[in-house]
Amino acid sequence: MYLYPHECFRGGFYSNPMKITKAELDLMNTMRVLWEQHGVWTRMAITSMVFGLPDEEMVVNRLLQNPVDFANTLKFFYGDEIASKFSDLLKSHLVIASQLVKAAKAGDNKSATEAEKKWYENADEIAIFLSYINPYWSRESWKAMLHEHLALVKAEAVAMLTKDYAAGIKVYDKIESQALEMADMMAEGIIKQFSY
């Protein structure tokens, strides 16, 4: 039975020790870093956009490095073409999110609604694509995870736009936890598919 890292840790000690290879651990850690960075740089980009900070362009550029970093990891398993396709889908996810935040900030409800619709369509495309390239990645599981991610990111942006900073912090804690679940699901699927 494969356990996620967070399932092994109970009350400050490892209550259910398991053996994993160094390659498996490295993959799990890489996926956790990538998904963690996805959440962190998304939050920083939203903050910069909402408050019109002078670092907005630099922060957004750093955020857009995240899909490239994912591609560099995935191409080892799936090759350049598939890795590039995932990168393109994830980049679209980020660009649409930016459009949504900017429309909401401007009070343009029509554009915000259109962007949100595209955002969910993109999430469904990502879920379909992931289930296509790995038989251990369920389309429905990824769709549920990605839809939850979008709802949390939207709540985070709304909290900032309405100056409810305490709520924004609570939402970010949920985003972080959920990002680690996506990372572990991604790593588990690769480990099962390639049996290493």
Would you state the structure tokens that stand for residue 34, as one six-digit string?
């990538």
Q: What is the pTM of this model?
A: 0.88
What are the sequence ranges of the domains in the chain? 22-194
Instruction: Determine the pLDDT at residue 18.
Output: 63
173 within 8 A of 40, measured Cβ to Cβ: no
122 within 8 A of 96, measured Cβ to Cβ: yes
> For 37-74, what is each residue's pLDDT tens digit?
999 999 999 999 999 999 999 999 999 999 999 999 99
Residue 194 C-beta-side C-alpha neighbours within 13 Å: 14
Q: Which residues of the chain have pLDDT under 50?
A: 1-4, 6-14
Smallest CA-to-CA distance from 24 within 187, 170, 193, 167 is with: 187
- How many CB atoms are located within 10 Å of the residue 47 CB? 17
107 within 8 A of 99, measured Cβ to Cβ: no
